[in-house]
Structure 1
Amino acid sequence: MSKIAFIFPGQGAQYVGMGKEIAMEHKSAQDIFEKANESLGFDIKKMCFEGPEEELVKTEYTQPAILTTSIAILSVIQQNGIEADITAGLSLGEYSALVYAGALKFEDAVKLVNKRGKYMQEAVPLGKGNMAAIIGLDRKEVDSIIKEAQDVGTVEGANYNCPGQIVISGEINAVEKACELAKEKGAKKAVLLPVSAPFHCSLLKPAGERLSEKMESLNIGSLQRKVISNVTGDYIANEKDIKDLLIKQVSKSVLWQDSIELMLDGGYDTFIEIGPGKTLTAFTKKTARKLKKKVKCYNVENTKTLNKLLTELG
């Protein structure tokens, strides 16, 4: 019997047209988009389905757009009787995981990530921070590079995605120095990313503080499924930790590789990525390969990928 895990994508996976096909064919998905419009007070559905792209890529819109698309697709998967008892999401995707697990109401989550995006964008002036992907070095090597580059400014590990792929974040000159050092140490690639702010580093602490004010009145429901936190790379032990973890998550490293390893160690062998793109599917396969574990991975973002899942698992 396969053990299923649901995983949810984060920012960067968005594209114009996401969710449209499934929403046109499934009322439950259409209803989620309508609910998002109502909660937000603007037409996020139109932005997902039709763009324009220059609006969709603004962090304050990207975040609710991806969350809505993921939960809309999730509703169809659940309607077809496919469930998981464990879930995780990359950065923003953690909110989708918490909605699935019953800890957050969708209406609350979509409003919260709209604010989260806005606060993250506003925390660091444009042109002050950057992020870069370092490919082909292990965690130890990247961490020593980060340490060395901190001489010129703030730079930290932002996303530990999978073996050989780590994203760093911080002030532009320090990030650039780390990239130079990475190339000297034999990295296959060290490339600056087209992002609008240095996410998941201490420069984003003010965004976390602003988010915490919004969370004061937030109702957290009881966890119906196991959720792995980005901040700890471990199970969330108690509902009362959720707000604190989400606040920290804005300015702390995302331990994604650790999260997948924990699931693999727990015997999970079937991973379903729900929402736009298939980035997490690639990360999962790489991590499983390193641990010599066999996995089946699905990404569900349109009718074709949904039908494949339902044919094989439904």
Structure 2
Amino acid sequence: MAQAFLFPGQGSQKVGMGRDLAEASTAARAVFQEVDDALGQHLFRLMVEGPEDQLTLTENAQPAIMANAIAVLRVLEAEGGFSLQAHGECVAGHSLGEYTALCAAGAFTLADTARLLKLRGQAMQAAVPVGVGAMCALLGADLAKATALAEAASAQLLSDGRPALCQVANDNDPGQVVLSGHREAIERAVAMVKEHGIKRGVLLPVSAPFHCDLMAPAADAMAEALERTSPAPMLLPVYANVTAALVSDPAVERDLLVRQVTGRVRWRESILAMGEGGIERFVEFGGKVVGPMVGRTLPDAAVTSVVTMADIEAFAKTL
């Protein structure tokens, strides 16, 4: 059965993450220690003990989610006889998860991935003052409805006379799309959902408006960082967020990672493309976030989430 390996994005962090893995496996402990050393901080302690508001900060959440997923992968490799290259056809990750996918596929070292994500989180947070931007999830919305709503919410100027920005940030599955932009425009969009035939709009508890044009300063920062730390050749190709297409050229992927900061996460299209490419089983490492999106996009696909030691042992038996 052809398999794709998936990695979650921001929002999958929670206090206590990684504790059981570290207690059970030296391979997991090694991952968390290497990330701590690379960042010069006690990130693993923050993951295990909190406080939650510090873990949720973008600059901490992004490397933490990556470290947890890679720890799952390393335990599976060490104790389950797993090989990414031998058992899979491709990798993909949702937003920051694309970096995790590249780390898993050998394009970035673990230490470099941690440093890149720390910088990415800091640059995204610094790009827009707190309170200026926002994001909302549209439930019961397809891409066409969400696009029309975003255009309507952008049509009216902001209260200070500037043009409003509201864009589709994430096309997650057939019934969930996320908008990002100026807070005023996003709040306007939430208030207008019924007019556009959308079931519900929910403001998201995020500290910055990710994946929209307001993130341009962060894209510039990542362009500089990725010039210094470019991807190496990959063990498996990656489906890029911004193109929903398979990429194996490291130079192309580097440019796409820069575009990803302001660009739409085309997750639904990526999953459809994987299905059309013959993928029958989707395995999410380190979370239970993107797996359900896959299930709503390809109802007949086999979907597995591998998070705990029990999950690892169960999945290893299927190899």
How many aligned residue pairs are there?
Answer: 307
Question: Does residue 1:140 correspond to 2:144, yes or no?
Answer: yes
Superposed CA RMSD: 1.2
Structure 2 counterpart of 1:280: 290
TM-score with structure 2 length normalisation?
0.93
Contact in 2 for aligned 1:17/1:50 (Cα 8 Å): yes
Mind listing any 5+ residue stretches in structure 1 that lack a counterpart?
Answer: none
Equivalent-residue separation in structure 2 for 1:75 and 1:112 (angstroms): 20
Alignment of 1:112-191 (within 5 A): 112-152=116-156, 153-191=164-202
Offset of residue 237 of structure 1:
4.3
TM-score with structure 1 length normalisation?
0.95
Equivalent-residue separation in structure 2 for 1:219 and 1:182 (angstroms): 41
Question: Does residue 1:91 correspond to 2:101, yes or no?
Answer: no
Task: Give 2:227's match in structure 1, choosing from 196, 213, 216.
Answer: 216
Structure 2 counterpart of 1:81: 81
- Structure 2 letter corresponding to 1:299: S
Contact in 2 for aligned 1:18/1:301 (Cα 8 Å): no
Question: Does residue 1:30 correspond to 2:29, yes or no?
Answer: yes
Structure 2 counterpart of 1:297: 303
Equivalent-residue separation in structure 2 for 1:149 and 1:217 (angstroms): 39
Equivalent-residue separation in structure 2 for 1:126 and 1:17 (angstroms): 27
Structure 2 counterpart of 1:196: 207
Q: State the secondary structure of the residue aligned to 2:228.
A: coil
Structure 1 counterpart of 2:60: 61
Offset of residue 180 of structure 1:
2.4
Equivalent-residue separation in structure 1 for 2:7 and 2:231 (angstroms): 19
Alignment of 1:199-278 (within 5 A): 199-276=210-287, 278=288
What percent of counterpart residues are identical? 37
Task: Give 1:310's match in structure 2, choosing from 309, 313, 316.
Answer: 316
Equivalent-residue separation in structure 1 for 2:302 and 2:81 (angstroms): 18
In the superposition, relative to structure 1, how do residues 178 and 131 fare at CA in structure 2: closer, same or farther (>3 Å)? same
Offset of residue 267 of structure 1:
1.6
Equivalent-residue separation in structure 1 for 2:253 and 2:142 (angstroms): 30
Equivalent-residue separation in structure 2 for 1:59 and 1:137 (angstroms): 27
Q: State the secondary structure of the residue aligned to 1:187.
A: coil
Question: Does residue 1:49 correspond to 2:55, yes or no?
Answer: no
Offset of residue 310 of structure 1:
2.4
Offset of residue 78 of structure 1:
2.4
Q: State the secondary structure of the residue aligned to 1:13.
A: coil
Structure 1 counterpart of 2:70: 71
Offset of residue 192 of structure 1:
0.7
- Structure 2 letter corresponding to 1:59: T
Q: State the secondary structure of the residue aligned to 1:104.
A: coil
- Structure 2 letter corresponding to 1:260: I
- Structure 2 letter corresponding to 1:265: E
Mind listing any 5+ residue stretches in structure 2 that lack a counterpart?
Answer: 157-163
